[in-house]
Amino acid sequence: MSTAEGRCRICHVSKGTLITPCKCEGSIRCAHSKCLLDWVYQRQSLSCEVCGATYNAVKVYNFHLADGEPGFFTLCWICARCCLVRCLGTLTFVVLNAFLLILLPFVVAFFYYAVPPFDPVTPPWASAIQLVPELGYFSPFFFLLWVWSSPFVQSPFAFCGITALCGFTQWKICLG
DSSP code, position 27? G
The SS3 of residue 64 is: strand
- Compute the C-alpha angle 92/96/99, nearest 5°: 145
The mean pLDDT of 58-84, rounded to a whole number, is: 72
**24-64 confidence digits (pLDDT tens):** 888 888 888 889 888 888 888 888 888 888 887 776 666 56
Residues of the chain with CATH 3.30.40.10: 2-43
Average pLDDT, the chain: 71
Within 8 A by CB and 6+ apart from 174, the residues are 154, 155, 158, 159
What is the CB neighbour count within 10 angstroms for residue 109? 10
What percent of the chain has pLDDT above 90?
1
For residue 91, what are the CA distances in angstroms to 96, 97, 104, 173? 9, 10, 20, 62
Give Dmax (Cα) for the chain. 113
- For residue 162, the model assigns a pLDDT of 44
Which strand ranges, in their side-by-side order, compose the sheet holding 2-4?
2-4, 18-20, 31-32
Distance in angstroms (rounded) separating the CA atoms of residues 99 and 58 = 42
- Identify residue 64 by its one-letter amino acid code: H
CATH topology of domain 2-43: Herpes Virus-1 (3.30.40)
The mean pLDDT of 118-135, rounded to a whole number, is: 60
Please name which of 24, 26, 25, 18 lies closest in space to residue 2, comparing C-alpha atoms: 18
- For residue 158, the model assigns a pLDDT of 46
pTM for this entry: 0.34
The SS3 of residue 34 is: helix
